[in-house]
Structure 1
Amino acid sequence: MPTELVAALDIGGTKIAGALVDRRGGILVRARRPTPAREDGETVMRAVEEVLAELAAAPRWASVRAVGIGSAGPVDAARGVVSPVNIPGWRDYPLVERVRRASGGRPVTLVGDGVAMTAAEHWRGAARGHDNALCLVVSTGVGGGLVLDGKLHTGPTGNAGHIGHVSVDLDGDPCACGSRGCVERIAGGPHIARRALDNGWRPGPDGDVSAAAVAAAAHAGDPVALAAFERAARALAAGIAATAALVELDIAVVGGGVAGAGGVLFAPLRRSLREYATLSFVRDLTVVPALAGTDAGLLGAAAAAGGPDREPAAPAA
């Protein structure tokens, strides 16, 4: 009998990616479309349907038993709807029902993109073999997800572990979510860049004012760029330590574009974590870079839908 597969969708503001994924995390077929994020909701859905149709044209489609979706959020898994901040045409959009119809009535599981990344890291990445983990996506925003007692903990709506909107500065700047001093408002890529610019950092001749450009300047020793990453790292450390104090964690895994800064983020992050995570039951918490890479969204969507082998995962070497 052919191996059962899961169809995975990774939906963001830039791209809609799809894949057929086997039980060991092998990606057998891929499809991709740009997200028409500024168009109406039905136009966006047509792009999703095109991705599914391309997957359905593959000979292995008959072996697909379920569909997993990792979507930019907010999502509401209990209702099967999504309202991604970066896709204005989708507000309380019934994505689960539409994908169920487009996939021939197969069961559909929806999670937020941070939860999907967490599922991928626990299945095939840096959190493999750990029973209690927090995984973070640090990019334009800051998302996350939790593994507790060896299982993905999605919460009722699929948003559990959203560390980006934990407040770590009671008198901090207003956040887009409506709160103040959130981790995302300090550690998100655009906010790192804005902090550096406000404190005197200037881009090179190419005019690049992204967080990646600030990271490059930090690697070159620019003190303002280093200070911007130091501040972001402290915010992340405070959020991680608070989460660990609540639920007890073995490991925190950090991925996303900002994590690509490497040592200029991870060195102050680990140093700050030692200052914040001081209780005996959180003191041994480690922080490591993510390993699942650009396929994390697809692998995580597949894992959330029940894709992994049920054999216990071995710790990563």
Structure 2
Amino acid sequence: MTALALEIGPTRFAASRVAQDVEADDVRQVPIPADGAWDRCLALLKEVAEGREITALGIACAGPIDMAAGVVAPAEIAEWRTGFAIVAAAEAAFPGASVYLAVDGVCLALAERNIGAAKEAMDALALTVSDRIRGGITVGGFVVVGRTGNAGNIGHVLVPGYDEPCACGSRGCLEAVAGGAAAVRWAQDRGWGGASVDELVAAARVKDEIAAAALGRAGTALGLAIVSTAALLDLDLAVVGGTMAAAGPALWEPLSAAVAAHAQLSYLPGLRVVPSTLGELGGLAGAGLLALTPRR
């Protein structure tokens, strides 16, 4: 009797078996293929299952999703952009298993609330800043899902003072300014010679001026978006994870300065912003919690 967790991110699939204490067992990751995404995803799940009977599967997927219909439409997987019925496909692959789907940011918030840095907070924002930005919110101790399952999508909150075009079709979205891919492009446009978020973070840590400026710009935008979200929802904590969060002072100092400068409402000065303790697998841990949570 085995529960599985699956995370569908912007660039890779990750899967694991899930112990009752939500510890991931034998995490495996593969790049998302150019085509045949579900076949590769299913092969990965079966590799992890190793012939065991599967009783539950939790799926964390990059948005947008339609949670009620069990359909996902992540922009990074071309063949799924118009909608892929992943819950029905998983139920067919694992007959008798209970299959649960949530957007990756909701799964991240679920993990932070239960086993991460937000477990003592009733009202919190959890976000991961890597190539993309994903987020989820906890209000009154409960993770907010939203009408379609896409609540907490802070990557598409508009940041004042910025006008960069976003992949969603809008302009000035947080992800278009502070996401890792956007920060890399900004640095490259100013002569930086690297190619990835990891390289940008490493360069900023050794005081490369352009890389540090890119991280500083991202940190300021993140701080503005965090304060706006906290003001709207009366939050007392924001947890930041992902590749960019490892950049150290280059990101965290401008982020903290933006929060301090703009958290002026009487209920906001206590707003805390802390690093995640879950690493890159927060969404996968949340998918495991989805699989293990009892339903009435």
Instruction: Output the TM-score relative to the length of structure 2.
Output: 0.91
Aligned 1:95-134 pairs, distance under 5 A: 95-134=86-125
Question: 1:240 — aligned with what?
Answer: 226
Paired residue type of 1:52: L
Question: 1:88 — aligned with what?
Answer: 78
CA contact (8 A) 1:22 1:307 kept: no
Gap runs ≥5 in structure 2: none
Residue 263 of structure 1, aligned match among 221, 244, 249: 249
- Structure 2 Cα separation of the partners of residues 268 and 33 of structure 1: 34
CA contact (8 A) 1:108 1:305 kept: yes
1:259-316 Cα distance to aligned partner (Å, 9 max, x none):
12122111211111011211121211111111112332221111234449xxxxxxxx
Moved over 6 A (4+): none
Question: 1:169 — aligned with what?
Answer: 160
Q: Alpha-carbon deviation of 1:133?
A: 1.1
Q: Structure 1 residues 184, 14: CA separation in 2 closer, same or farther (over 3 Å shift)?
A: closer
Question: 1:282 — aligned with what?
Answer: 268
Question: 1:25 — aligned with what?
Answer: 22
Q: Alpha-carbon deviation of 1:105?
A: 3.0
- Structure 1 Cα separation of the partners of residues 26 and 215 of structure 2: 38
Q: Structure 1 residues 222, 24: CA separation in 2 closer, same or farther (over 3 Å shift)?
A: same
Q: Alpha-carbon deviation of 1:143?
A: 1.1
Paired residue type of 1:109: Y
Q: Alpha-carbon deviation of 1:244?
A: 0.5
Paired residue type of 1:150: G
- Structure 2 Cα separation of the partners of residues 83 and 307 of structure 1: 25
- Structure 2 Cα separation of the partners of residues 189 and 56 of structure 1: 33
Q: Alpha-carbon deviation of 1:222?
A: 3.4
Other structure's SS at 1:89 match: helix
Paired residue type of 1:81: V
Aligned 1:296-315 pairs, distance under 5 A: 296-307=282-293
CA contact (8 A) 2:192 2:210 kept: no
> Which of 268-277 and 7-16 deviates more?
7-16
Question: 2:205 — aligned with what?
Answer: 219
Q: Alpha-carbon deviation of 1:240?
A: 0.6
Question: Does 2:138 align with 1:138?
Answer: no
- Structure 2 Cα separation of the partners of residues 224 and 294 of structure 1: 25
Paired residue type of 1:48: C
Other structure's SS at 2:78 match: coil
- Structure 2 Cα separation of the partners of residues 190 and 68 of structure 1: 28
CA contact (8 A) 1:118 1:145 kept: yes
CA contact (8 A) 1:18 1:55 kept: yes
Residue 228 of structure 1, aligned match among 214, 220, 233: 214
- Structure 1 Cα separation of the partners of residues 233 and 84 of structure 2: 32
Other structure's SS at 1:294 match: helix
Question: 1:312 — aligned with what?
Answer: none
> Which of 256-265 and 180-189 deviates more?
256-265
Paired residue type of 2:164: D
Other structure's SS at 2:44 match: helix
- Structure 1 Cα separation of the partners of residues 250 and 56 of structure 2: 41
Q: Structure 1 residues 283, 221: CA separation in 2 closer, same or farther (over 3 Å shift)?
A: same
Gap runs ≥5 in structure 1: 309-317
CA contact (8 A) 2:241 2:280 kept: no
- Structure 2 Cα separation of the partners of residues 138 and 213 of structure 1: 15
Q: How many residues align?
A: 293
Question: Does 2:47 align with 1:54?
Answer: yes
- Structure 1 Cα separation of the partners of residues 227 and 29 of structure 2: 37
